[in-house]
Every structure is written in C-alpha cells, then in structure tokens.
Amino acid sequence: MSALIEDVSARKIINSRGDPTIEVDITTVDGFGSASAPSGASTGKAEAIPFPEGGVEEAIKKVEELVAPEIIGLYADEQEEVDRLLRELDGTENFQNIGGNTVYAVSLAVADAAANSYNLPLFKYLGGSLASDLPFPLGNVVGGGKHALGKATDIQEFLVLPVGAPYFSAAVEANAKIHKKLKDIIRKVDSTFTGGKGDEGAWAPNVTNDQALEAVFSACQEVSGEIGFECKPGLDVAASSLWEPKKKNYVYARDGLSRDSGEQIDYILDLIEKYSLVYVEDPLHEDDFQGFKELTQKSRRCLVCGDDLFVTNVKRLSKGIKTRSGNAIIIKMNQVGTLTETWETTKLALENSYVPVVSHRSGETASTHIAHLAVAFKAPVIKTGVVGGERIAKLNELIRIEESLGEKARMANLKI
C-alpha cells in the first residue's frame, strides 16, 4: 500500500450559506482523499485569514501553481512535513498569502488520502486502534446574533448538551426532540414566529434572551423526563459581537441595555445559576483573559469555553492556561489552518484539563471530517448543530462510527 501523492487538484463549491469555498482532492498511488473548507460569520480577530486577496479563484490558483508541485512526490502520511511546507510556502503567521481555508482543505485532504490509502477510516488512522470514545453532541437550538441578521436574540446561540446520554445515537435523538419541542414552545411566546431559522438551523424567534433561555430550559426538562437522562442548556454568547470598546460596554440592542465587564460577569453567573447552564462559550470579549479567569473561578460545574478568545491557537491557549482563563476550548481547524497545529492545540488542552470541543462553523459543507477528528482527538464534546443536512452529516457519521466500534464504543469522559 502506497500513500505516495500523485495528484492534487482544487475546485470551487458552495457552502451552506451559498457562499463559494474551496474543495481539494488528493490522489495517491493506492488511495484518494478530499476535503472542503467551512467558514465563520462571527470570526475572532486572531483567526487565520480564510482566503487570499482574490478569493476562492486565487486560492485554487495557489493550490495548482504553488502547493501541488511541492507536495506531489511526498507521502500523504507525512502530515507534519506537508503542514510545515504549507507554513513555509505561505510565509505569514495568519496564512494571508495562501488562505487559512486553502491550507485547511489541503492539510485535511492529505490526511484523508493517507487513511484511504491504508484502508482505514480517518478516525482510526489519526487516533489509532484505541480511539473509541464518542463525544457528547452540543447543539444550537435557538439563536440570534450574527447568525440571524442581528434581529433575533442578542446572545448568539442557545445550546443543549445531553450530559446523561448513555450512548451517542440516544444523545442525537434527545437534541432533535428538544429542537422539535421548542418550535411549539416558541410559538406560544412569539406570535410573529414563522418557523425561521438562523445559519446553523437554530430557531430565530423575536424574543428576549431571558425568554429564549426559559424556553430552552423547559424543553430540556420535558425531554429529560421523557427519555430518562439529563439534557442541560448552554450558551454561546459570542460576546465580542456585543462588545463596544469605546463604551467599554456589552450592548444588548434587542434587550435595550448595556453591561460593563463586572456586570457582564455577574449576569452570566446569574444565568448559570438560574438555568443550570453546563456550558458557556465566549461570555466575555476576545481579549478579556482576566474576565474569563474571574468567571471560571466563580462558576461551579460549568464549562467556560473560549472560541474567539483562543482561536485554536497554541500561544493563546498557553496564555489562558497560565492565567487560568476558562476550562474548555473550541477547536475549529480553519481558525489555525493545519491539522498538525490543530492537534498540538488539542493536545495542550487535554494535558491541562481543558475540555476540547471540536466544532463546525456557521457556514458548513456536507463534509464529515470533524466527526472523525472528534473521536481521534478524544474530544469529550462535538459542537455541530442539531438539524440541517450539513450538520446532521457529522452526527450521522458519528452514529456510523459508534456502530462500527461495536462493544468497544463508549461515551467520552465528560466531567462537569
């Protein structure tokens, strides 16, 4: 079996928002791999730049003219070498020449091709034969912020996490039930509700943050009672979108109020207490390591997760570990670009008891790679929505992985 790379090609496809993105194919002597890049709407300012100037067309040109000649002739299982080359070819910290999404697609397609060349599923190729922990699915059921034209809730995502699920497919069904139940609950609170959804398939009603939380809390309780295990609410505040640096305030336009940093921390702590939240992502803006520290210290039994704060970057996570800011980290491979660096950040998180949460982006493709990454990386949580073809593609892949593992399959160890 040979993973010698023989051909590399790239094309333009469209993502779930209807925007263009890049897909890369890699052919080896004995296999084939392919990967397409997702993209964000509420991006962190320290993320890799998604595309070079000139967009997807320019990215394709870079793959064909710059990347392909360098990696044809290498072996697809030399991941670190390929990723080092991509860094060298780009020459910038944030991949602004080639584009983070271009790097994402090449790097992941290489891994995909290597796995295929050895006749292994990607999660086994990357994680070894012991990779058998299934992540808990964290899903967005109500949302607003930048994913719903700023017209729904100020808080970007109201999430559910089926913490008591005995196995993965039961967890997925629980989330779907909660999503469905919420349609009826919301209809009673918002008479103007048309069943509209945001970018990630979450309902986007015209309600206050508190009304949304009440609704999600009661849907979780009802469904937990029906299915016999616990499902708990969570939030992605995406607070950088609310933060106005000049005013030094978080502005809740829909709710018609502002909070300074101290008030924001108290507000989030109140919500954690009142609604038994088990997960809070980006409760403070992307440079507030100190605020994250204070909130993490004061909140009990809750994951305090950094997305825009850490941007899957090993240096930013190291800083957070030193200051004890947060206890969980979003892992979005295209924030950093290469698979090697994504694993480095995930490994550092695991070694320091930060919970890695492997995550989709709001603009997705039907690719299932992140399902494999979550199992290979032993991530206790995967955040990938509840409904919508591009979201359930990942969830259904994990159902298949669970089935293929048979008796070895078990839920990850999630300590909250």
Binding of Zn ion by 200 (CB under 5 A):
no
**Site size for ligand PGA (CB under 6 A):** 9
The distance of closest approach from Cβ of residue 140 to ligand PGA in the complex, given in angstroms and rounded to an integer, is 8
Residue 90's binding partner, choosing from ligand PGA, Zn ion, none, with beta-carbon cut-off 5 to 8 A by kind?
Answer: none
Q: Which of 16, 26, 27, 40 binds ligand PGA (CB under 6 A)?
A: 40
Q: Which amino acid is at 267?
A: Y
Binding of ligand PGA by 309 (CB under 6 A):
no
Beta 20-28 vs 5-14: how paired, if at all? antiparallel
Residue 361's binding partner, choosing from Zn ion, ligand PGA, none, with beta-carbon cut-off 5 to 8 A by kind?
Answer: ligand PGA
- Tokens representing 184 are 């009826």
Q: Would you say 16 or 28 has its CB closer to ligand PGA?
A: 16
Site track 345-374 with ligand PGA (rule: CB under 6 A), x = hit: ----------------xx------------
Binding of Zn ion by 236 (CB under 5 A):
yes
DSSP letter at 380 equals S
Q: Would you say 28 or 384 has its CB closer to ligand PGA?
A: 384
Q: CA 322 to CA 302: how far, in whole Å? A: 20
Q: Angle of helix 339-351 relative to helix 100-117, nearest 10 degrees?
A: 90
Long-range own/partner contacts, residues 193-200 (CB < 8 A, 24 or more apart): 196/148, 197/388, 198/140, 198/143, 198/144, 198/147, 198/148, 198/152, 199/16, 199/17, 199/41, 199/147, 199/148, 199/362, 199/363, 200/140, 200/143, 200/147, 200/157, 200/360, 200/362, 200/385, 200/388, 200/391
Is 286 part of the annotated catalytic residue set?
no
The distance of closest approach from Cβ of residue 210 to Zn ion in the complex, given in angstroms and rounded to an integer, is 21
The distance of closest approach from Cβ of residue 353 to ligand PGA in the complex, given in angstroms and rounded to an integer, is 22
The distance of closest approach from Cβ of residue 29 to ligand PGA in the complex, given in angstroms and rounded to an integer, is 36
Q: Would you say 33 or 40 has its CB closer to ligand PGA?
A: 40
Q: CA 190 to CA 211: how far, in whole Å? A: 9
First-to-last C-alpha distance (Å) of the chain? 44
DSSP assignment of 319-338: HHHHHT--SEEEE-HHHH--
Tell me how far apart the 2 most distant CA atoms of the chain are, in Å. Answer: 63
Name the residue with the smallest CB distance to ligand PGA.
Answer: 40
Q: CA 138 to CA 358: how far, in whole Å? A: 10
Is 332 part of the annotated catalytic residue set?
yes
Q: Cα 354 to chain center, whole Å?
A: 15
List 62, 124, 332, 394, catalytic entry: 332
Contact window for Zn ion (CB under 5 A) among 7-15, 64-72, 126-134, 276-284: 276-284
Q: Would you say 19 or 260 has its CB closer to ligand PGA?
A: 19
Binding of Zn ion by 307 (CB under 5 A):
yes
User: Which positions are catalytic?
Assistant: 200, 332
Residues that bind ligand PGA (CB under 6 A): 40-43, 236, 238, 307, 361-362
Interface residues with Zn ion (CB under 5 A) are 236, 281, 307
